[in-house]
Structure 1
Amino acid sequence: MQGVSEAIATLFARRKNIDAMQPNQVIAMVFQLKGLSAQDHSNE
């Protein structure tokens, strides 16, 4: 889960820049986080 935590920390660090991003980029990052989380659970 450490990778997921780092990704979330990165999102919070970049939160002020999200307004400049396209919504689909934000959605893609959310799905990427869900993918990482699913992989972590399957590895356990």
Structure 2
Amino acid sequence: MNVDSVDEADKLLKGLPLGQANLLTFELMPIGPLLPLGML
């Protein structure tokens, strides 16, 4: 997902129908840009 924070992603995913019914669990972790791509 392209969001500013893990909390924002969690809020969006929990707003989906399966998230509201507690049928899915999510493990979210922040990642940054891939550094080798800057050398292209």
TM-score (norm 2): 0.32
The structure whose RCO (Cα within 8 Å, separation 6+) is larger is 1
Which structure: greater helix fraction? Answer: 1
Q: Which has the larger radius of gyration?
A: 2
